[in-house]
Amino acid sequence: MMTSYDLEALRLDLQKRLDGLKPQVDRNRLGQFATPTELAAEIAAVTRPLMAGRASIRFLDPAFGTGAFYSALLRSYSPSDIAWAKGYEVDPHYGLPALSLWQDTHLKLEIADFTQLSPPTTDRDRPNLIICNPPYVRHHHIPVGDKVRLRGKVAELTSIRLNGLAGLYCYFLCLAHAWLADNGIGVWLIPSEFMDVKYGREVKRYLLEKVTLLRLHLFDPHEVQFDDALVSSAVVWFTKATPPSQHAVDATYGGSLTNPRVVQRLATTHLQEDTKWSGLFKGQEKVARGESNLKLSDLFLIKRGIATGSNSFFVLKQSEAGRLELPSHLLTPILPSPRFLDVEEVEADKLGDPLLATRLYLLTCDEPEATVQRKYPALWAYLQTGIARGLNEGYLCSRRSPWYAQEKRPPAPLLCTYMGRLRTKNSRPFRFILNHSRATAPNVYLLMYPKPLLLDLMQQQPDLLRKLWLALNALPVEAILGEGRVYGGGLYKLEPNELGNLPADVVLPALSQPIPLVPRQLTLLPS
């Protein structure tokens, strides 16, 4: 008779074979990242004390895969401890072989979309233990119709209205609430980004208000848990019960689940839905603001660079644009991505074009197709090659009229890179660029436009821009990292509002006179 360890060995072989038969790009799109055996075993071990005192286990995994958590459950409990076990798997590629693998156990596995199913109507038919690694499908890969259905269903079952940018894992977490028995235990292995991003606020509200959060472990982003996904992970444990007043949560960070590097108790009053949680779990406090209480967003309007829809088509080298005989007045200088920009200060020639070894130009034309065909035959011919590649049907291009039109982003005097890595203790993942040219920038940069009051001061003080640039580069690394978010492998990202939320006190000494608090309202881009 096979032991649970024999079955796990067979499952691992099956997982490897099935993954090999499915292209990595397809698994990424569908969010199919198998839970490693060691991690599943640790989760089961940490969960075991939480299930003490219960007569028997009623187990559910709504995103079963090949059964990493069910296998860990079998290795942690005797068969007599498990009343029943159920699983749902939407993909027959994994579900059908898993059915065969576990056919001699008590598991009831169905090939079905969990999000389409109705929860049990009685508590005895509900699981008292849900352990799940839900699919990590980003919002833009969820069809619009499915997203409307999912948001409506979550709102109906939990009164939580998820943000439209929420990934599929958020819907799984909230929908499972109606399945879990009262006082049952929920355990979720999910991307840690919900802790810091705007769409995660409703997820955090669910964890703070709808259930009693027991423990949350944040893995070190440099210690990636999945071999095939650069995603920073967290594990959440909670009880389906109203949280008591003055409740505190076990917050652990780094290392392993059974031996974390940071262990602390955090009162839920510290874990507000609009607070970034990751810094708290690392034992870090936010860098305090100075007396002025000014933010960078009070001084700068900060925008993402241009998302072209296809850089390989719309961004051309000077020589290629000449060969194609594209009209020069429809070509706007654009900076290369940060990895190809080896200077921190971009100088310009007499025309305002950047003095770089390789000059790049963005095709910028918003004239109707009929006009282009009549006035610019060379450009019209080039656009036909884009249509042949299907670019006009792409996500961004198909939403523009005409499809080849581009966003308007005037040149910014200061730019900040959008992402980067902390390669050494003293390195800086984000770079501030001083731009003297008329070049715009792609969306791997954040463009910093001085607001009117600051513009006035810059006109009075010609050297002020350089002083501001030097001051920005002197910003403490921990201050910037505390506002941004981090992904698996130590990749840090910074959105415009996150950069804007940084305290401005570091740049104030560069000003020769005090600056009053700027009303926090939208300012038009400078012309």
Q: If you write DSSP's letter for every residue of 200-222 in order, what string do you get?
A: GHHHHHIIIIISEEEEEEE--TT
Question: DSSP alpha helices (H): ranges in 301-451?
Answer: 311-314, 318-323, 369-375, 377-388
Is 101 buried (19+), middle (13-18) or exposed (0-12) by CB count in 10 A? buried
376-401 in b/e burial notation, b at 16+ Cβ within 10 A?
beebeebbeebeeeebbebeebeeee
- pLDDT, tens digit only, all 527 positions of the chain: 689 999 999 999 999 999 999 887 777 677 778 899 999 999 999 999 999 888 899 999 999 999 999 999 999 998 889 999 999 999 999 999 999 999 999 899 999 999 999 999 998 899 999 999 999 888 888 999 999 999 999 999 999 999 999 999 999 999 999 999 999 999 999 998 898 888 999 999 999 999 999 999 998 876 655 454 446 789 999 999 999 988 999 999 888 898 888 889 888 888 887 678 887 876 554 444 455 578 888 899 999 999 999 999 999 999 999 999 999 999 999 999 998 999 999 999 999 999 999 999 999 999 999 999 999 999 999 999 999 999 999 989 999 999 999 999 999 999 999 887 766 555 678 899 999 999 999 999 999 999 888 888 888 888 899 999 988 888 777 777 767 666 655 677 888 988 888 888 777 776 655 554 443 333 334 33
Structure-block tokens of residue 6? 């024999």
Contact 233, 192 (CB under 8 A): yes
Q: Is 208 left (phi over 0), alpha (psi -120 to 50) or beta?
A: alpha
Structure-block tokens of residue 322? 């000449």
Please give the pLDDT value at position 53.
Answer: 84
Please give the pLDDT value at position 300.
Answer: 93
Is 473 buried (19+), middle (13-18) or exposed (0-12) by CB count in 10 A? middle
Please give the pLDDT value at position 283.
Answer: 57
Query: Side-chain half-sphere of 420: how many Cα atoms within 13 Å?
Result: 21
Which residues lie across from 235 on neighbouring strands? 189, 217
Report the alpha-carbon distance of residue 351 to residue 276 in Å, rounded.
44
